[in-house]
Structure 1
Amino acid sequence: MTESSAIPADEFATPDVPRLVVRTTELDPDVHAGLDLLQTLPTEDATAWVRRGEGLVGHGEAARLDVSGPDRFATAVQWWDKLAESAAVRDEIGEPGTGLVGFGSFAFADDPGHSTLVVPRVVLGRRGDRRWLTTIAVEPALPTVPSLPALFGTPPPERPQGVVFADGALTGAQWASAVADAVRRIDAGDLDKVVLARDLVAVAEKPVDFRWPLARIARDYPACWTYAVRGLIGATPEMLVRLENGLVTSRVLAGTIRRSNDDARDLALAASLARSSKDLEEHEYAVRSVADALAPHCTSMNVPESPFVLHLPNVMHLATDLAGVLADGSSSLELAAALHPSAAVCGTPTPVALQLIAELEHMDRGRYAGPVGWVDASGNGEWGIALRCAQVDTQDPRRLRLYAGCGIVADSVPESELAEAQAKLVPVRDALTPDPTETP
């Protein structure tokens, strides 16, 4: 990792964070009108956060924090604050996502829980009609503007070959049995809701070029936020929290139904989802957990009384958009820490749900269902929940682990939950297999 400064977690508390020199310049909108951010991604040390062609992509590493344990968020917040305070920044634009930017991905669980926060050497950004280039160096070096043709002319991604899928920690039948166990615990009054996840292992003939599935997911699911952080790739439909110039927003998803291939049938399915007592109960727990977590940090909170149905290519979700005005100066990273884990990915009560997840899933979630996104030096940022994702195996890059989860409540039917989990695996699974609309 050229010009990278990876700082172990046990050293973050010292004042010896690197002093970064940062410069953001605006790109000519006429010359770069057709800029496709994901097509500029390098084959290694790449980071991304893109939706509908807008967002940020990063090249290389100027600095990185790797951290684990229950204090991972507090460690990252303190490290980031020190970086931002000491950085020398020249920013011609001054918008959210310009200047110093870090990309992060955090473990779901406290233990073992590997998390990371990365500051790239180069960041390309796009918002509306504006495009920009940020370069970052560790002092005493100065930022060097890279060759733009080199950035925009990265080699095309290579399609994965011969991908084979296999069950992960549990077979489908074993996972359905775990769902039945969870329902019994709920019926016994131990808890109200728990989110159970399952994994799927994909193995290719040779190391997977992550840019291929990432581009496929972004194309097929444009309404989602496509992300890549140190081998974790995916496209999430759920915005845990966005902070932009004092406005806080969050999109909560809970309650899902699989789509058919018929528009009229899908309308009927959407109506049944909106009336489903089981899904409405699950959704209410998730909304309440987010609203309660944001309330200490916000004023003028707006929490809609009823959800809407969000239509995605493979499924439909009950969704609620919350909004508030920041009251205490928290950064987007601090808000993400306050919100994790929400009932949408854990359950309620949280401590009981976490214990049951550890007992029934028989796997380490890693960074699945943890916060993933970006933060800038002003605290602005966007943090989604790492859903619809895969983790590339660092020891064997031919292997990826895919994840999907479902909210379990008293009325849950194990077979239906298994079908829902399989539907949620479709985006990444399809992205790793041949596309019949494309030529080899």
Structure 2
Amino acid sequence: MNVALSPPKMFVRTVPLSDHTAGLVRLLPDGAPLAWLTGDEGVVGWGEAARLDLGTEPEGTAPTDTTRFSEAARWLNGLMEHAEVSDGVGAAGTGLVAFGTFAFAPTSPGSALVVPRVLVGRRGGRSWLTTVGDEPGDRPGELPPPASAPRPVGPVSWTQGSLSGEDWMSAVAGTVERIRAGELDKAVLARDAFAEAASPIDVRTLLERLRLRFPSCFTFSVDGMVGATPELLLRREGDRLTSLVLAGTRPRGEDPGDDRRLADELLASAKDVDEHRMAVDSLRTALAPLAEEMEVPARPSLLRLANVQHLATRAHARLSPGVSALDAVAALHPTAAVGGTPTGTAMRLIAGAEGMDRGGYAGPVGWVDGAGNSEWGIALRCAHVDGARARLFAGGGIVEGSVPEAELAETESKFRVMREALTDGA
């Protein structure tokens, strides 16, 4: 585990921007951009002022082990203790900010935190610039001009992932048998697929396409994980926490009438409503020890996205004193919406049935600032981009009433998000 014993002294300066009309993605240079966007708002960053690469836990470690989250929290606290921060804006996402991605399982690689050298944010009509320097005289400069235009992806070849569609349906059928035998109530099974371009993929291109197509989702790029997730694990402002639970899915219809029919079918589906209830119960159980107050609606609503529609529940809580954002992330991950119920049994089944290591897929991704404000999503509808190669992921919740063919079709609908982002002119 790469944790510095004596963090470097950092000089962090945040200043307001009075005239910021360019899109945030247009400011990002090519390379390894950092981004968390919702529509036209969010934060983007580049460069590395500090970085933490979290190691893997040994095989046999409990799937709910929280060591990496506590290590990350200690590292961030150490940075803050050695940082001189001048914040002229004082909003969530200003001052010292770290972007983060955590692997789904504690035994998997890919968990990291990055503090960018430069960050630009926009929220609620306010914009700001943060720079991190090594010397006390370092001061924020002017807003950089728009970077070079993002490049098209070009021709892409597609290959199947760890399991073929037939093999994955067999895994689903085997999981349903184990659920009916009483071993567990639910398991979320995922698939992967691969895209290969002729030259390195420009992540900025994917970010802009995803942001425009899914403006209500959280479009992200952190350490190679890129996507547009609808699922907000948590948003923390002060002691207030919000979480959005999604479980139960149908595709969008071909026309308004078909769309309504599919929505009504979803809302009336005992299988999907039960799957959603398990996810909400998981959230309530995880948050209860951390919160002084909690508000969880009794019934889900419908969340419609460009390609699918979900059953959704938005929960609110007031955290107890001393509970940090990463404490809450550690408690909530993995939710029943991406793992299953009971958690330990489901996680062990996933490791054996999927035939792959998820890496950062379905793990927490987001940012946290020095004041503890943060936004963390679940890395869904995403890919891991490494040079010219992208590894795509999609999954679905398996319960007693699941039908393998329908579950395969649901993953194909979810794959479409990144397939279209990687296709020029789609």
What's the TM-score once normalised by structure 1's chain length? 0.93
In structure 2, the residue matched to 1:335 is 328
1:111 aligned to 107, 111, 126, which one?
107
Is the CA contact (8 Å cut-off) linking 2:227 and 2:381 kept in structure 1? yes
Secondary structure, counterpart of 2:212 in structure 1: helix
Q: Which runs of 4+ in 1 moved over 4 A?
A: none
User: Following superposition of structure 1 onto structure 2, how do residues 224-373 of structure 1 map, counting pairs within 5 Å?
Assistant: 224-373=217-366
Given that residues 44 and 60 in structure 1 are in contact (C-alpha distance below 8 angstroms), is that contact kept between their aligned partners in structure 2?
Answer: no
Match of 2:373 in 1: 380
Q: Is the 8 A contact 1:391 1:402 kept in 2?
A: yes
| Structure 1 residues 287 and 130, CA gap change in structure 2 (3 angstroms) | same
Counterpart contact for 1:248–1:324, Cα < 8 Å: yes
Does the aligned pair in 2 maintain the 1:273–1:279 contact within 8 Å? Answer: yes
The residue aligned with 1:57 is: 44
- 2:138 is aligned to 143
Residue correspondence of structure 1 range 11-90 to structure 2 within 5 A? 11-12=3-4, 14=5, 16-28=6-18, 31-32=19-20, 34-70=21-57, 71-90=67-86
Cα RMSD (Å) of the superposition?
Answer: 1.2
Corresponding position of 1:406: 396
Q: Amino acid of the residue matched to residue 398 of structure 2? A: I
Query: Structure 2 CA distance, aligned partners of 1:112 and 1:390?
Result: 16
CA–CA distance in structure 2, aligned partners of residues 111 and 276 of structure 1: 36
CA distance in 2 between counterparts of 1:315 and 1:270 reads: 10
- Structure 1 match to 2:63: none
Instruction: Give the counterpart letter for 1:50 in structure 2.
Output: L
Q: Say whether the 8 Å CA contact 1:333–1:381 is kept in structure 2.
A: no
**Structure 2: which 5+ runs fail to align?**
58-66
Separation (CA, whole Å) in 1 of partners of 2:355 and 2:425 = 33
Superposed CA offset, 1:206-249 (max 9, x none): 11111111110111001100000011110110000111021111
Q: CA deviation at 1:144?
A: 4.0
User: What is the deviation of 1:292?
Assistant: 1.0
- The code of the aligned residue for 1:207 comes to P
Residues 34-67 of structure 1: CA deviation (Å, up to 9, x unaligned) = 2311111111232000101111000111000000
CA contact (8 A) 2:33 2:204 kept: no
1:298-345: CA deviations, max 9, x gaps?
A: 122001000001000100000000001111322222211111111010
Please give the alpha-carbon distance, in whole angstroms, between the structure 1 residues aligned to 2:32 and 2:210. 20
Conserved? CA contact 1:254–1:319, under 8 Å: yes
Q: Which residue identity does 1:206 align to in structure 2?
A: S
- The residue aligned with 1:426 is 416
Q: Any stretches of 5+ residues in structure 1 without a counterpart?
A: 1-8
Conservation of the 8 A alpha-carbon contact between 1:331 and 1:378? no
The aligned amino acid for 1:234 is: G
SS at match of 1:282: helix
3-state SS of 1:419 partner? helix
Using the TM superposition, give the Cα deviation of residue 82 of structure 1 relative to its aligned residue in structure 2, in angstroms. 1.1
1:141, distance to aligned residue in structure 2 (A)? 5.7
Deviates more, 1:54-63 or 1:35-44: 35-44
Q: Secondary structure at the match of 1:17?
A: coil
Q: Which amino acid in the other structure matches residue 123 of structure 1?
A: L
- State how far apart, in whole Å, the 1-side matches of 2:353 and 2:375 are: 31
CA distance in 2 between partners of 1:173 and 1:143 (Å)? 58
Please say if residues 13 and 139 of structure 2, whose CA atoms lie closer than 8 Å, have aligned partners that are also in contact.
Answer: no
Listed one character per residue, the Cα deviations across residues 357-393 of structure 1 (whole Å, up to 9, x for unaligned) are 0110010100010000000001110000000111012
SS in 2 for 1:324: strand
Name the CA distance, whole Å, in 2 between partners of 1:399 and 1:129.
37
| SS state at 1:185 partner | helix
Q: 1:113: how far off? A: 2.7
Paired residue for 1:158?
A: 151
| Counterpart selection for 1:125 from 117, 121, 124 | 121
Q: 1:147, CA displacement in angstroms?
A: 4.5
Please say if residues 200 and 401 of structure 1, whose CA atoms lie closer than 8 Å, have aligned partners that are also in contact.
yes
1:203–1:399 contact (8 Å) kept in structure 2: yes
Distance 1:309 1:104 in 2: 29
Aligned partner of residue 288 in structure 1, secondary structure: helix
The answer to whether 1:389 aligns with 2:382 is yes
Asked if structure 2 preserves the Cα contact closer than 8 Å seen for 1:332 and 1:383, the reply is: no
Whole-angstrom CA distance in 1 between matches of 2:364 and 2:203: 20
Alignment of 1:92-107 (within 5 A): 92-107=88-103
Change (3 A) 1:25 1:226: same
Indicate conservation of the 8 Å contact 2:253/2:260, yes or no.
Answer: no
Q: How many residues align?
A: 417
Q: Quick check: 1:417 aligned with 2:410? A: no
